[in-house]
Structure formats: C-alpha cells, structure tokens
Amino acid sequence: MTKHKITAVLGPTNTGKTHLAIETMLSFDSGMIGFPLRLLAREVYDKVIKKISLDKVALITGEEKIIPSNAKYFLCTVESMPIDKHLEFVGVDEIQMCSDHERGHIFTERLLNMRGEKLTMLMGSSIIKNIISKLNGDIEFINRDRLSKLTYAGHKKISRINRKTAIIAFSAEEVYAIAELIRRQKGGAAIVMGSLSPKTRNAQVELYQSGDVDFLVATDAIGMGINMDLDHVYFSNLKKFDGKKLRKLNLSEIGQIAGRAGRYLNDGNFGITGDCKEITAEDVELLENHKFDEIRTLFWRNSYLNFNNPLSLIKSLEEKPQMDWLRKIHECEDEKALKYFLRDKNLINFKFDKITLNLLWECCQIPDFVKKTYGNHYEVIGNVFRFLSSEKGRISDEFMRLQLIKLDKLEGNVDSLSNRIANVRTWSYVSNKNNWIENQDYWIEKTKHLEDRLSDRLHEELTKTFIDKRASVLARGLKQDMEFKTEILENNNVMIDDHFIGKINGLKLELDLKKGALETDIKSLKKAARQSIGPELEKRIQTIIDTGLIELNNDFKIYWNNSPIAKLTTGNDYLNPNFELIVDETIEINQKQKLSEYINKWTQGKINTVLKNLIDLKNLKENNSSIKALAYQLYENNGVLKREQVSEYLKTLGQNERKILRELGVKFGRYHVFLFQLIKPEAVSLRTLLWKNFHQKYYNLKPPTFGLNFLDDKDSKNKNFMLLCGFEKFDTFFVRIDILERLFMLIINSSNSKENKEIKIIPEMLNLLGCSKENFKKLLQKMGYKVFDKDENTFFTYNPTKKIRKISKQKTSNENPFKILKDLNLR
C-alpha cells in the first residue's frame, strides 16, 4: 500500500508556518486546512478570497458555513472539518493541540485519520515531532526558525508598559478589569477574546491596528496564530481554568502566547505585570530559545462509535487506545450530556434505535457557548432533540422565532450583549446543521444578521467602555509632539484643544482620570498645558503671600480659596510642626521655596500669637528655680495643672515670683494653676490640633462645643484630654476650670466667716454653669458638699478650708503630680 505523503512544518511562533500552508494548499487543485479557532479560520478565509475566486473558497465553522457549490478550498475549524471530502491537500494548524485537556481528542483524530490525496501538512510546535515520527506515512520534517528574536523583559507595572503591547488574561472578568485600568491610565485598549464574534473581533483589531489605541487586552486566543503588530506581550497571570480546575500554564503554552510579540523581522519581548509571579531564570532561557518538553502522549477518544443501543454507545466511548502514546481523554462535555439524557426520566422509556441514538449524540455535541449553567445548556439540547425525534423531525419556525425574539435586543452593557451573542451562536450552530430546522436558509441568514447587529453593538459598547476617544486624540498628539491650545476657565476647569482635562484646585492640577486622562502622560499633558498653567500658579502663590488669606483646618491642612495648599507633619515638638506643600509638580523650585518660607512664617506666627502665653513660658529667662520649675511643668502640660500636684512648688513662691507668673498669664486658682488665655476657643482648637498632629493619633478626640461651661457626659470622655481642653471631671460631669474658680468666688461671697454656714443655691450659680438645679445639686454632692432642701429652697454647707482640700483630693485626681497627661503622651 502506498504511504501517504506527510509534511510536518514545525517551529515556534513567527516562523511563517501558516503562510506556507496556505500557499502550498493553493498550489494544488483542491485542499482544506483545519484551524484551532473560528477567528483564525475567518481571518485566513478573508485573505484567500482576495487571492482567488470567491466561488472556489468555503468557510466551515460551527456557527458559519459558506460553501459554494464548486468550492475547491475549505477553511474550517478543526471540529468542523468534513471527513468525507477527497482533496489533494489537507492541513491541520497548531497540531500540538492534540495534548489539550479539552479538545485534544479532536486534533488527535485528525492527526491519525485525515489525509490529503497528495499531501498532508501538519503545522505546529516542535514538541510534537517525536509523536509525528510514529505515524504511518512518508514523513518529511521542515523545521522553521523564528524570524525575530524574543527576549524576556521582566516585571512592569501596567502604568509603565510601552505602546504596541498585548496584556494577557484568562477570563472575561480579568480582561475587562485590565481594560478598564488601561482606559484610566493610558486612554484605552482593544479587546480580543475567542468568544467574540468575528465581526466584533475584527472591529476591535482595527482600532488597535489603526493606532486609535496602543494596547490590546486579550485571552490566550491570540496565541493561536492571530497575527497582530505587537512588540510586547505581558502576562497578568500564568494560571488558567481549563474547564475542570485552575492550573498553571506549561512552558510551551507560555511560549505560544509570548511568541506573538515581534512580527516578521521585528524583535519582540515578553514579561509579566500585576500580581503575576516571576518566571524563573531557567524557564526564561527555555522560553527565549523555544526549547520545551516533548509531548509524550496525545489525548484520544474512539471515533468509531457503536450506536446499536445506549450501552454499546457508552462502551465504545469508554474504549481505551491501543497505542501507548495515546491517552483516553477525561469525560468530555458531550459525553457528560449524553449520559445525563440517557438517565433522564422523560427519556427512560424512549426507544433508541441507531438513528435516534446517533441523533441524540449529535445534539449533545452542540457547543455550550454561554457557559453559565449546565441546566440552561441541557435545556437547549433537550428541546432540539425532542423536535428532531418527533414525527415532523424538524425544529419549527415558531420555536426558532421565540428563541431569537428574546435575544433581539440591542440595549445593555458588555456582559449582557456578550451573553446574547453567545446564545445566538448556539442557534446559529443549530441552524447550520443539515436538516435540523424548517426553512434552514432563512434561519441561517436570520441568526447571522442578528449576530452581526449584536456584534456591532458590542463593539460600540466595548469602545465606549474601554476607550476614551478624547484621551486617544491627546495621546496621538503627544506622540507626534503637537502643540496644544490650553485655557483655564473662570471655574478653574483646564481645557486642552477644547477637551476638558481637569481642574486647578488651589495650587494643584487635578487631571480628570475618570474621563480617561493618561496617568503615564501626566507630565506630557502638563507640559502641554504649562504655558497657561505655570504663570497662573505663580500668580496664585503671589496672591497668597500678598493677602495672607489662608487658614489651618481640623484636617491638619492649610487652605486657600477652599483648597488645600499644605499639610502639617510631625516636628521636633508639638509647638513646632513641619509641613508638606500640596502643589503641582510643574511649579518651579524657586516658587515652591518662596511659598514654603511664607507658610512656615505664617504657621509660626499663628502659634506665637494664639499660644503666646505658652511660648513665653517656654522662653522664660529667670534664675529662680521655683519659677522655672513651675513654668516648665505648665509648658509640658499644655498650660493646665492641678494645684495639688504642684503644691510643693507653690509653697516656695513669694508674691514677687507669683507676680512674674501672673504677668505671663498664669492664674493661681483654688483648684488649678493654669494659663487662662489658653482656655479660649481658638487656643484650645490650636493646642489640641497641634498635639494630635505631633502624636499622629487620637484623631477621634474633639474639644467640647465652645460656649458650654458644664457637660453631663455619660459616655465618659477621656478626662485627661478634657483637662487639656480646660474641663475638670466630677464623675460624669465636666466643669470648665475657669468657671469652677468663679463658682468658688460666688460660694465664698454668699457665705460669712462662720464655719459650716448654710449656703443658698442662687440663680447666679446656675446661670454661671448653664445647668439645671438638679444637676447642680448632684455636682455639689460629687464635689463633697452636703446638700439639703429646706422650705422651697436648696442649701448646702461650706467650709472654706476643708471643702477646697476635699475637692482637690477627689477620686479623679489620684495621679502622680508629674503624670497629669502621661497616658496621652503629652510629656
């Protein structure tokens, strides 16, 4: 018997294998090539019909059949290759797919059984060479070297990736997330996925090829011979879900995809991005030199099935291969579906003869394009089978109409449109099956027309969602070093060539990233806008210095015109904070220095003015050790001390020393020694703000509402922070310390020299505190007074020495004299 002539054209990507196969096929009178993807079959079909007469070329995929009556050349997906044709040439592309976990058995069947009468050509990776050499035939190997060099570029952030790059992801969700990131950072990306219809895919590719966008986000579909003008390929992940589990890509798969970088004679590089794990040095060397482990076994499934009865069919599907380099593929989706329907209660009494069993098997091979839930796909299979096994033996026009009318909607987002297209593809596949449907030609045309309309709409939605036209225009202009017209409007909007790019907030240009401003081109955009923005920012700095109209807010930021221009940071101590400017990077260094000097002067001026007494205490030049010691303690404790804690110092102070301290603002109260000016609202606000800034915590602590002298707080506010704010604690009550002194004076003035004199609660006392009589009575009791009602009035007893001592030794002040606020880190 004459051996068939087999030519195996093997080598890495970018070696011209597919081009050679096409040219070789066209040199024969008839031929056929099987491709791994519908997209690739369509791409080659479009090329071939430009070379030879349209009526000689057929396209056969699951969802699309263009078969002229006198067709000589057939371009197909591997699954759709007609096995009954007698043609001079037969080719199978990406033949290493025989080892694929999902589709390998189909490729293996073609490898073993499809032959051209004059020549069979197998194109693919060198890793299958060993297996091909085992075939029965006159085998010639043609080894093709890559036309350009492929180099590993390591890890890069997406924001730093250069143009003419494809970023690879392995799910639609990942593709969309990366495309959205690129839209925000670089203006936009085209999308290529195997699930896209040819029309959508071609429109997306055209966006990239035309230069409207510089980036492509794709699935591993581009690894199967889809040729694009790419310089770089970056992987966002090196794992994919293969239909059964999440698995790591093997090196040959990585090489297949990475090899799309660098076309023809242009060198390319590949790398990783995002959270993708590093590729080892050993693996990099193998990838760069296209050296991968040989395939040792191919996936196989018996293609000679026995349809005598369900049991014999299952048995023939489960048959094991005879050759040791063939491996039975795990239960495929069509096999799972078959077993499901053979167990279906509705079909339990169905009489399966050879014809109906064969029909059920064909129905089970309807691809699951939607891949959402098995239930929905099995419902489709069941409906189709019921129609085909009925007396009429055809799917009715009415049923088809009802299926498509649900899908004939153009509104919705990318996901809903993609889902509709996937469903239409199912009915397109069904329509293209011979004798399955009434008015077949009508429904083929109808499904194709609907898929095209949805594809156009999906392309529009992808473009709108993932490409910012304005950003693309700006990007292209920047690449070509064009000059832009820049304007700053009255509302601070910045316009470049009539495109809104952002706003000037204070002294900073905030680019409008949500509308596609390019993060990687921020400097370039600012350079384009600098002619107008630079002078405007300088003018604003001068206005700030001339007017001094800035303010320090509770968020530690200094504001001008409601926009932050600087932020406080920790300094050497809490009264000497540092700060950082919040300004645009385009501002010149000398202008930043000018502004820094002014803000530093303004900040210190504010602190020196509002907290003058505290600063004076710190800078006190006095030889008297008692004065210095008390001044130091007051400064260290923010100007508030309990008298009992410094009683030893007070004993050593004479009237002259006290006078010196009083002139500095110190008040010697019966209960506290404090700087009374620091109890004022502005001083309290500034002191607490500076203190929180220094410690970089306690942000949730806030001073009481200014104007209140008395608080009843059951939430137990931090007593030490409240003392910092000028409030003394009595159980759940807080009283302002200067008001407490005035209350003592009222009590003294209401008493006489006799001890234990009954003091009547008078309105002045209540008005001073701003509390109810009942709360005042409770406060007096907590302060140690005996309170009683007599007649219609309330009285309390007062001892001018014992009571004061008792108050100063109350439970809330049992602390070490020099640790008043230690637990808040004030020392």
Amino acid sitting at position 224: M
**Global model pTM greater than 0.75:** no
| Across 700-722, average pLDDT | 83
pLDDT for 9:
96
DSSP string, 229-263: --SEEEES-SEEE-SSSEEEPPHHHHHHHHTTSS-
Is it the case that residue 519 has pLDDT exceeding 60?
A: no
DSSP string, 745-781: HHHHHHS-SSTTEEEE--HHHHHHHT--HHHHHHHHH
pLDDT for 478:
57
Is it the case that residue 790 has pLDDT exceeding 50?
A: yes
pLDDT for 802:
52
Paired with 730 in beta bridges are 733
CB crowding 797-811: b at 16 or more within 10 Å, else e: bbeeeebbeebbebe
- Where residue 349 falls among pLDDT bands split at 50, 70, 90? confident
CA distances from residue 613 to 75, 337, 608, 667, 690 in whole angstroms, order as listed: 92, 87, 9, 11, 16
User: SS3 for 56?
Assistant: helix
pLDDT for 375:
63
Is it the case that residue 273 has pLDDT exceeding 90?
A: yes
- Where residue 481 falls among pLDDT bands split at 50, 70, 90? low
Paired with 86 in beta bridges are none
| Across 531-559, average pLDDT | 89
Of 603, 593, 592, the C-alpha closest to 559 is: 603
Helix axes of 38-48 and 198-209: crossing angle, nearest 10 degrees = 70
| Across 271-290, average pLDDT | 91
Q: Who wins on pLDDT, 168 or 38?
A: 168
d(CA 62, CA 59) in angstroms, rounded, equals 10
Residue-wise pLDDT for 449-477, tens only, equals: 999 999 999 999 998 888 876 666 665 56
- Looking up tokens 């499904």 gives 447
Q: How many residues does the chain have?
A: 827
Q: Who wins on pLDDT, 487 or 58?
A: 58
Residue-wise pLDDT for 654-674, tens only, equals: 888 888 888 889 999 888 999
pLDDT for 482:
59
Tokens of 159: 């924001």
Tokens of 713: 């707080």
pLDDT for 797:
85
CA distances from residue 767 to 414, 468, 502, 770 in whole angstroms, order as listed: 68, 66, 55, 5
| Across 307-318, average pLDDT | 94
- Where residue 697 falls among pLDDT bands split at 50, 70, 90? confident
Residue-wise pLDDT for 724-777, tens only, equals: 889 998 888 999 999 998 998 888 888 764 555 788 899 999 999 999 999 999
Q: How many CB atoms lie within 10 A of CB 438?
A: 15
φ, ψ of residue 795 to 5 degrees: the values are -125, 165
| Across 331-357, average pLDDT | 87
pLDDT for 563:
93
pLDDT for 420:
92
DSSP string, 63-114: S-EE--TT--EEEEEGGG--TT---SEEEESSGGGGG-TTTHHHHHHHHHH-
Q: How many CB atoms lie within 10 A of CB 51?
A: 11
pLDDT for 142:
95
| Across 512-520, average pLDDT | 50
Q: How many CB atoms lie within 10 A of CB 779?
A: 20
| Across 219-224, average pLDDT | 80
| Across 803-825, average pLDDT | 40
Question: In whole angstroms, how large is the CA radius of gyration of the chain?
Answer: 42
pLDDT for 524:
56
Cα–Cα–Cα angle for 349, 351, 354, rounded to 5 degrees: 150
pLDDT for 815:
39
d(CA 264, CA 258) in angstroms, rounded, equals 14
User: SS3 for 390?
Assistant: coil
* Residues in CB range of 162: below 8 A, 6 or more apart: 231, 232
Q: Who wins on pLDDT, 351 or 525?
A: 351
Q: Who wins on pLDDT, 801 or 237?
A: 237
| Across 249-255, average pLDDT | 89
Tokens of 557: 């930021």
pLDDT for 62:
87
pLDDT for 517:
43
Percentage of the chain beyond pLDDT 90 is 48
- Where residue 351 falls among pLDDT bands split at 50, 70, 90? confident
Q: Who wins on pLDDT, 697 or 445?
A: 445
Q: Which of 176-190, 219-233, 256-270, 437-451 has the lowest mean pLDDT?
A: 219-233
pLDDT for 502:
79
pLDDT for 625:
76
Contact 525, 474 (CB under 8 A): yes
CA distances from residue 13 to 3, 216, 700 in whole angstroms, order as listed: 30, 19, 61
Is it the case that residue 51 has pLDDT exceeding 60?
A: yes
Mean pLDDT of the chain: 86
d(CA 689, CA 694) in angstroms, rounded, equals 9
Of 565, 573, 568, the C-alpha closest to 591 is: 565
Amino acid sitting at position 534: G
Q: Who wins on pLDDT, 640 or 574?
A: 640
Is it the case that residue 123 has pLDDT exceeding 60?
A: yes
pLDDT for 806:
46
Is it the case that residue 693 has pLDDT exceeding 70?
A: yes
| Across 115-129, average pLDDT | 95
Half-sphere exposure of 586 (CA within 13 A, CB side): 22
pLDDT for 474:
62
CA distances from residue 625 to 201, 644, 816 in whole angstroms, order as listed: 87, 19, 21
| Across 127-134, average pLDDT | 94
Cα–Cα–Cα angle for 793, 794, 800, rounded to 5 degrees: 130
Tokens of 136: 């029965």
Residue-wise pLDDT for 561-571, tens only, equals: 999 999 999 99
| Sign of the CA dihedral running 621, 624, 627, 633 | positive
